[in-house]
Amino acid sequence: MTLPPDEVPPWGTPDDNPNYGTPVDRTTHHGTTHHGTPDNRTPDYGTPEPKEPDLHSVNTMVVLQRRGRQANDDYDLITVDGVQLGSILKETSTAGLIFSPALSKTYRMLNPRGFLVATLEGPGSQGPARFVLTDVRAAQVGSIEEEIGYGVPGLLLIGADGVPLRLLLGRNYDDGTWRLTDSVNGEQEFCRVSLEYVGARGRTLRRFSVELSPALIGTHRLLMIMAIIFLDHVSGAKSFGRGRWWYD
């Protein structure tokens, strides 16, 4: 069919300025197109919850003696803000004497939920004291040993790697602290402990402030926290001159 030049065919003819409409916005609510191409917005996946502090991560902590006649050898382990990190509990024995020549002494370190972290046990001995640290499977992972002949009474904290660190029990520093150092020349410091008394007269408790180096890790860190027991027993009115230094 032939049409005159000025007539429009039934199916229509585009004019000189065709309008094919506006493209559909294919961007989804999640910031990507239907074809998976991201737009300029950054997706928000949420902020991870902060990790709870624990004995292996804190650099400062407090070891606080528990109140009560039967709890004098039990301790709470807390952060400086009062968050519970765990506890150290003495396992009672029939004798109840520290380092009795005939009976062993046992301390359990627990996490905040009451589960075992480590055990420190000192067999009955007439010679130099030696406490053994075991893990939750009762495997030996370290020890705390009395050091003889170094002038000031001291302890060697020996980790699973066999490396000893030295803790002197006499607070002969100017600031009245105990310090854990390397056993070679004492130049590298791993921990510093200070003591204060809290509570009213007649009901005071011993509170140890502990500064731990980030370099003090693994077994050595647990040994140092356990060693607060010994610092407690040589502090205050407890004398070095009455037999063995750890006796009350």
Asked, for residue 136, whether it belongs to a domain, the answer is: yes
Using DSSP, state whether 204 is helix, strand or coil.
Answer: coil
β-strands 60-65, 75-78 pairing: antiparallel
- At residue 70, the pLDDT reads 58
- At residue 239, the pLDDT reads 39
* Domain that includes residue 166, residue range: 60-233
Asked, for residue 5, whether it belongs to a domain, the answer is: no
**Nearest-angstrom CA–CA distance, 58 and 32:** 42
The answer to whether 30 and 38 have CB atoms below 8 angstroms apart is no
Structural domains of the chain, count: 1
Using DSSP, state whether 229 is helix, strand or coil.
Answer: helix
- At residue 67, the pLDDT reads 76
- Compute the Cα dihedral for 67, 72, 78, 80 and give only its sign: positive
Asked, for residue 37, whether it belongs to a domain, the answer is: no
Asked, for residue 238, whether it belongs to a domain, the answer is: no
Tens-digit pLDDT profile for residues 209-244:
999 999 999 999 999 999 998 888 776 434 333 334
Q: Ramachandran region of residue 82, left (φ > 0), alpha (ψ -120 to 50) or beta?
A: left
- At residue 186, the pLDDT reads 83
State the residue for tokens 């150092």: 181
Tens-digit pLDDT profile for residues 48-92:
666 788 999 999 999 998 876 555 679 999 999 999 999 999 986
Q: Tell me which residue of 167, 175, 173 sits closest to 191, measured CA to CA.
A: 167
Asked, for residue 244, whether it belongs to a domain, the answer is: no
Token couple for 164 = 């000893």
CATH code assigned at 168: 2.40.160.200
Tens-digit pLDDT profile for residues 35-51:
554 555 655 666 666 67
Token couple for 118 = 């480590």
214 or 15: which carries more pLDDT confidence?
214
Binned at pLDDT 50, 70 and 90, residue 248 comes out as: very low
Q: DSSP assignment, residue 94?
A: S
Asked, for residue 83, whether it belongs to a domain, the answer is: yes
Asked, for residue 33, whether it belongs to a domain, the answer is: no
- At residue 24, the pLDDT reads 54
